[in-house]
Amino acid sequence: MNRIDNIAATYSEIQKEICHKLESADRKGQFGETKWDKKVGSGLTRVMENGAIIEKGAINFSFVKGDFSKKMEKILGEKAEKYAATGISSILHPHNPHVPIIHMNVRYFALDNGICWFGGGIDLTPHIIDKKEAAWFHQSLKNSCDKFNPSFYPDYKKWADDYYFLPHRNETRGVSGIFFDRLKPDQENSFETLFNFTVELAKSYPNIYSELMKNNHSKPYSEREKEWQNLRRGRYVEFNLIHDRGTKFGLESDGNTESILVSLPTNASWAYRYEPEPDGFEEKTLHLLKKGIDWIDFGNK
């Protein structure tokens, strides 16, 4: 499991780079640093609160090791004694409802029986969907994917549609993105390819979001748009607490609660049987929260 140390070192460097780039784009907020050490491992949680554009954002790095429990065996369908995992995960919540929420995660998981895999994803949750922007976001992801394998974008975009989905609401979380899990090195995709793919994604993340910040942060917004933002944040909370695998794994494996739940927004709200105004921006957004949209095609029409 020696190479995990190198991967962890690279991810840790990228965490710094992401923070620098986002601080430059925000121009006011700074990412604080909290190191944590628990039995399971250690991490560095970097949180920005009340930036100029980012209301609450976190870039977490962690590196954990431990016994491969019976529960993990059952969930993952693998037999081993020990595991080790390292990754970066990030969620950014902006003040302005015209700036989308974004999420990124890359991770590497290794067992002492020699089996290992990569996982990760990036997805965008606009409070108010701008289809041209969604197309640009997907094109950026596709460009990153295409450097490694032409099947990555179509396959992982479909996976994201299925993963970033709230069955109890019959809604996607936003305009999707890409998601992949348990990518094991094989003849088609070498270990290096998969590792470099996660590096490419993590490095592209602050560039993508800086562009979205720049284009939207100075747009004026109404009280109605702010209320709608809080309702969409309520859905984000539902996804993270009910479905998100990272959150579940973290809380169940006795991870660092503050670092895991820093993904939740500063404020969120819920309304019983909310009905959007006909033809309003809320209804237009709701109509687009569904699987299977080819955003690149749709947004460029």
Question: Which one of residues 169, 214, 219, 284 is an interface residue with its own copies (CB under 8 A)?
Answer: 169
Question: Which one of residues 4, 76, 115, 268 is an interface residue with its own copies (CB under 8 A)?
Answer: 268
In the beta sheet, which residues pair with residue 118? 108, 183
Helix/strand/coil for 74: helix
Site size toward its own copies, by CB under 8 A: 29
Tell whether residue 6 is a contact of its own copies (CB under 8 A).
no
Q: Which stretch binds its own copies (CB under 8 A): 67-75, 189-197, 211-219, 252-260?
A: 252-260
295 exposure class (CB count in 10 Å sphere: 0-12, 13-18, 19+): buried
Question: Which one of residues 69, 113, 218, 267 is an interface residue with its own copies (CB under 8 A)?
Answer: 267
Site for its own copies in 51-110 (CB under 8 A): 56, 58
Question: Which one of residues 7, 18, 47, 59 is an interface residue with its own copies (CB under 8 A)?
Answer: 47
Q: Which of 93, 95, 103, 217 is catalytic?
A: 103
Q: Position 275: which residue type?
A: E
Q: How far is the CB of 269 from its own copies (least distance, A)?
A: 5
Number of neighbours of residue 129 by Cβ within 10 angstroms: 21
Question: Which one of residues 230, 249, 276, 298 is an interface residue with its own copies (CB under 8 A)?
Answer: 230
How far apart (Å, rounded) are the C-alpha atoms in residues 210 and 216?
Answer: 10
Q: Position 119: which residue type?
A: G
Q: Are strands 171-172 and 165-166 parallel, antiparallel or unpaired?
A: antiparallel
Tell whether residue 264 is a contact of its own copies (CB under 8 A).
yes
Q: How far is the CB of 149 from its own copies (least distance, A)?
A: 36
Active site residue 243: no
Q: How far is the CB of 148 from its own copies (least distance, A)?
A: 35
Task: Dig out the tokens for 114 from the structure.
Answer: 């020699």
Number of neighbours of residue 241 by Cβ within 10 angstroms: 14
Sign of torsion over alpha carbons 59, 179, 37, 17:
negative
How far apart (Å, rounded) are the C-alpha atoms in residues 55 and 159?
Answer: 29
Return the active site residues.
103
Binding site for its own copies (CB under 8 A): 34, 47, 49, 56, 58, 168-169, 230, 234, 237-238, 241-242, 251, 257-258, 260-262, 264-273
